[in-house]
Structure 1
């Protein structure tokens, strides 16, 4: 009887945790070639946005196929997330930049914001991930 009770409590706790989780689906398009991979940083707060590997919630690398890269991330805690990506054609893990610091590799941000005033803020790029739902981030490389 005691074992059945403990099992029930464990099941209730697990299902409560799972109900606070959502899914992020990423679709990255406008790649210039299928060579290399797409490097992705996902942030759950503005600290370190947009390029700190140490402050990112998750780092993901995905292949390009037919000019598109897709990836779903399951079990994402509910909250606001922003994504930054670049097309790492030579797969060295580094974004290539010109002498004034502008990226030479294709890059993008969630919500595809304007870059007229420089790097967009976390708030401008973030989307809410809700429990039990899939949030789609469509990013076009520049």
Structure 2
């Protein structure tokens, strides 16, 4: 066997050992564990919605991949989104103090209940874009914390 062919075979074998774990990871399903902090009280429930793309983020209920609501028993709440394929996701959270499954707003459109997003982006005059809140899920468990904000 000539040197060039031998080198090519060795190179292909080496590349194959690097790419097979990447292929295996692309087909896995992992969990996104979300800890929600900063609740101002224990009234009502916390609802979290996870989005797999920018379409509909953060408020279009028809575009939500998974949604969870849980009664509040402490000033910190933990939720887990299960069986997510590897990729980027963004989470929107609200403190639904009156259990109506909506973010209640003032006459000027400002949220009257607590809210937050993955990556805790700074909120000044608009909701964050998907890219500003996106979290990469690429392992068996990905842990994030979301700090609620109240206006």
TM-score range, shorter chain: 0.7 to 0.9
**Larger helix fraction of residues:** 2
Match of 1:126 in 2: 134
Structure 2 residue ranges without an equivalent (≥5): 1-23
Secondary structure at the counterpart of residue 54 of structure 1 = helix
The answer to whether the Cα contact below 8 Å between 2:48 and 2:68 also exists between their aligned partners in 1 is: yes
> Which structure has the larger Rg over C-alpha atoms?
2
The separation in 2 between residues aligned to 1:36 and 1:99, in whole angstroms, is: 22
Match of 1:35 in 2: 43
TM-score, normalised with respect to structure 1: 0.82
Structure 1 residue ranges without an equivalent (≥5): 1-15
4+ residue segments displaced more than 4 Å: 16-19
Match of 2:148 in 1: 141
Deviations 1:112-135 (A, max 9, x none): 1011242111001001101x4211
RMSD between aligned alpha carbons?
1.7
Match of 2:71 in 1: 63
The answer to whether the Cα contact below 8 Å between 1:18 and 1:75 also exists between their aligned partners in 2 is: no
- 1:19 deviation in Å? 5.6
- List aligned pairs for 1:1-142, cutoff 5 A: 20-130=28-138, 132-142=139-149
Aligned pair count? 126
